[in-house]
Structure 1
Amino acid sequence: MNTPESKNYIPPINRISTRTTASLLLLVIVIVLIISAGFLWVTTTEQEKIVYQYQEKSAEETSLIISHYFSKLIDNLVIFSESSHLTEISPKEQREALIDLLNDEKRLFHECTLLTLDGQEAVKISRVHTYLPEELGNQSSDPIFSRALQGETSISPIFIFPQTGLISVNIATPVRDKKGEIAFVLIATGSVVPLWSEIEKIDIGQNGYAYIVDSSGRFLAYQEASEILDRHGELMTALPPVQRFISKDAASNREISPYTGLKGEEVVGSFAKIPGTDWAVIAELPTYEAFEYINRMILVIIAAMILGLIFSALLGLFLSRYLTEPVLSLTSIVTKIGQGKPAPHIKETSRADEIGILARGIEQMEKNLMESYLDLELRISELTLARERLRFSEEQYRALFEHSEDPLVLVEEDQSITLVNKKFEELWGFTREEIIGKKKWTEFVATLEDLDMMTSYYQKRNAGEDNVPNTYNFKLKTNSGEIRDMLLSITRMPGSNQILAALVDITEQKKYEQELIQKNKDLSDAYEKLATNEEELRESYDTLTIYEQKLRKSEQKYRNIVEDQTDLILRFTPQNKIIFGNDKFFSFFHADHKGILENEINLSDIRLFPSEILMQISSLTPDSPVIYSENKVILPGGEEKWLNSSIRGIFSDAGIVIEYQAVARDITFQKKTEEALDNARSKLNLLNAITFEDIRNYIFTLSGYLELKKDMISDQNTLALIEKEQSLVKKVSQSLDFAKDYQDMGIRPPYWQNVLQVYLFAISHLDLTHIERIEEIKGVLIYADPLLEKVFYNLALNLVTHGKDIVTKLHLHSELRNGELIIIFEDNGPGIEDEKKEILFSRRDGLKKGLGLYFTSEVLAITGISIRETGTSGKGARFEIIVPRGKYKYE
């Protein structure tokens, strides 16, 4: 053997292969590491400087563009406020001036508002919406309004303009009169979309981006609107550039430290203040792009190291192949021998050096080990086969025990329970963990008599007596306290003192036996009574014979009535077999009366009802015996028909369905008429919409020409005529608005609506904050046109228009009178004069006079609902909406 005592032993450190390979590898590794570390330090330092300069330049460029854009918005608005003389012109001219501003600055502004000194909106112009007088609000609480009152021109945080969905800002500037005093505040909503278009042109790398934060570090703006909606106002102070901006530490901005940026990826960033604001631009560039050059150099160095190692390994392999390869081959052979695998032929046994000595020793060892291995493998195979058979047998018996339909329990000699199946767990009510090793079989015996008997049997069985019964009855007490009658079967396990007990629950069987005994007694009593009543039954038979004759005559009479019906009438069984049909039914389907009934044609064969209707009839009950349907039928010839049907279930006294009766009516002509009417309505509605839109455009154009014409004419008489023309154009526009609402009336079908919910939606469009409201009408639904909300809106608008500051209370409630529901809408205002009540709901001439209430009565009349005014002049208005029976219900 090659041991230290052997003369053939060569220490590893003195072997040529070890020294050669180790020296080459160490030399190459040291050289590559020194060169790579120095080069990497130089490139990393220079790249960090370049990254800082690049990020600082991107942030400053973005900051200048944003500052210039906001300055442009502010300058344009200030110039306009100083040059348009808004304090010296009329409200109408102010409106025209704001329109000119929006037209001249289309890309910059999309809404302008002129506010009085108390914050009330006097004039409001928008590109996308025409504001009515009642839609004008108050902006006194807006911070930029407050700063404008102090003489400052200020800009709001960036937000999403709700009318357009564009990223926008509000700019407020004071409007001064000739004396230099502030008379108005002008607020313009400017679009930030063009700004982001300019920012996107800045080269912040291929994947870089910029966003804006305020002096508190809160997120303000970004080029994506979804980010502003999700993160507006979010604190960004966890990001290093934001921290440096808040601390006003400009010098630390040169630190280039990676962190997790706005998009959740690792970035490097820098900030730059926006001149003229207290905001800053944060520019961020992903680290994989910022340090792309460094990463590339690291990869090159790693590749160089790998190539150097490969070269040195190849060189060492080439120099020591003769020494190393034989050793590796012998090592592989020893490993395979140790794993019990067949080893290849050893080629080195003929060598005279230490490798030859080792090879010959391994060859001899392989022969000795192979003989021992084959003998051991044979023994292991025999043991494995025996173990598999034992495991398979155990699994079979365990499966039989666990899945037995009877409760099973294994009892030890000391009466403890060591094994139960799932059925026994369910029977006793304890879990397996609570039973095994913790309970004895005596604990589930319910009575002392049974326990004494079973204990005696158990002792005799353990003593070896043969006359002990193996099957007997006893009462078992469950965990819940229930007493069950059980049949117990005992089996002694071979080779041990264990006992297997099988239990059968015979509680129901015992109960049935008692019931059977009682029923036999009742049957005997009934037989005696039957003999007594036999004579009475004979007399009843004669009476039934006479009744049957009358019934046949009645049946013939009603059969004639059914056969003469124009509706389709048929009866069918729960199995959908047709058992009766009148002549109209068979002629409708061009079918043979006798052929369908004798051949037992299935209802689905003639496709009278869709499959979903046939499935629904199974849900009919004596309390709800009828369902209604409207469906299309294809006749045998391919003709399409529409039927309106009702299916009634006929039930026995026990509530079981016997058969079904269906009555169907041909409504094909009605459906075609409705379809034609719907098409005509759709076309008319489209025509009206186009016409209304054209007329609106013409009115807008005509109004513009009239305004231009007024500016061109100085003659007062001509100007008076033009003003009358403008008044007529305004009346035409208002009449067009009324007609627009009126054309939608009756287009969509009525449906059940919650009165309180519709009422609250309607008044939400009006300012009723100064009025005390009382709503006492919860859970009431009425069947009305979809324009019901307009009804309550017009009533509330009438209150606001005529009541003004007089009305302080509005009460909505309901009551029942003679089966009708009365919905009462009343206030404590001036009321309505008696002479005006007769024409209150009629169409009258004049500017929008009476149109709202006339429209209200027309909408309600669609479903048979009426309205009247019953208030007292001087005490308040009282509108009563009368809903007839069947048009109201309660939730």
Structure 2
Amino acid sequence: MDSGLTREVLDALPARIAVLDGTGRIVETNAAWRAFAAERDHPLVPRDGDEGRTYLETLARSGNDQASTVATRVRSLLDDDHAGTELAYRADADGDALRITLAPVTHDGDRFVVLHHADREREGTEGGTGERISSQLKERAMDEAPVGITISDPEDPDNPVIYANAAFERITGYPVEEVLGRNCRFLQGPDTDPETVARMRQAVEDQDPVTVEVRNYRRNDEEFWNQVTIAPLYDHAGELAHYVGFQQDVTDRKRAERDLETERDRLALLNQIVRHDIRNDMSVALGWGGELAKRIDPADEDAFERIMTAATHTKELTEAVGDLVDILGTADPELEAIPLAPVLRTEVDRVRSNFDYRSQSVTIRGDDDLPTVDVWATPILASVFGNLLDNAVFHNDKAAIEIEVGAEVTAETAVVRIADNGPGVPDERKREVFGRGEKGLESPGSGLGLYLVDNLVDTYGGSVRIEDNDPEGAVFRVELRRADPESHST
């Protein structure tokens, strides 16, 4: 091919082309390169010979880091017998993004480098380099994803798999080559739920996304629980093109759920025993104790009160344990609007009745002036106030126990205060006492009461904290969310 034809061919090419000799000077360019150089001041197309420098020197001294990288690659190709390379030049301030190709050429014993660059299409432009880069990146991401990914083709009979990633092979044990061309139903087995399979099949027929948990089987016939999501993929015309499936092994979670269900069944049995048998027996003991109270010799009153206090506490503990079982057995209890004042008054009356055997008084004030307000809670809200009132009695070192109850309302909350004249709670333990097993004053209690209070109030979206009473004692402050828009005193 003569030189004239060679130049015509070069000039016909849309890519910008320049040939560099061993010194790094441009010895040949095509029309596209010359036109670009005349119209633009681009870091990759400096004027050759500016300030006496070669093109390569100008490129190397450029303040543009990417241009300097290109210069380093060009020099490497001129000095050593390396193969060509391709670089991606990121968009500059004017928005140009280039694909740069460098190729070494040896002619008559001399070394040359052919440099050409073409506009790199923007990300997502059909047919452009950006789209190819994006596709490669997406495929690599799918190959290395921690969840199983499959793509199927509904145009082929039986909607076969046309792509499966490495995670799918790890989860199922099936090599990718054994998966391609098959419908994913090969993962089903004897104990696969047919209703779940029917849901997936119907979703595919309706072109709807669906997520299910299904019992599947690995290649070695081992069962596992598979969380499967299937979603349709549409082409640019809005027509169904493929289905994508995501698989995640949730066997450990399903096993934990099964163990939790077993534990809940055991707790339900414990609840029945505690609430029915033990509570009934303690009610009988307290009933007979009340009869004996009138005939106790004054010298034995102190011992009698200790026995009755322990028996009363045991009875109340059965209620706390039963309520705690209810909490543990319900993952997400449904809250309802509960009238605050009646619940609080009922618990105050209960405490007064339970401790009427005491020779020294238990005085509770404030329950006759409670606001009428509803709060978000469950029917066992009474356990919150019952345990706090019991705590004010059991953990009190005074002969004459005094308890003050009250409530304040705001636009969003209702705050109940239960104050006592006991020994109080040191600052460093004001949070600790809500921990499981905490108790004080050498009490016979289990410490479950305040633990239950804290968990219940948290479940209701509220909070509980302890403050110092004046001049002595503790104040338990329970903040609950209001369920009604108005409030007034009764």
Q: TM-score, normalised by structure 1?
A: 0.28
Pick the structure with more strand per residue: 2
Say which structure, 1 or 2, has more relative contact order (CA 8 Å, 6+ apart). 2
Q: Say which one has the larger Rg.
A: 1
TM-score (norm 2): 0.47
- Structure with the bigger percentage of helix: 1
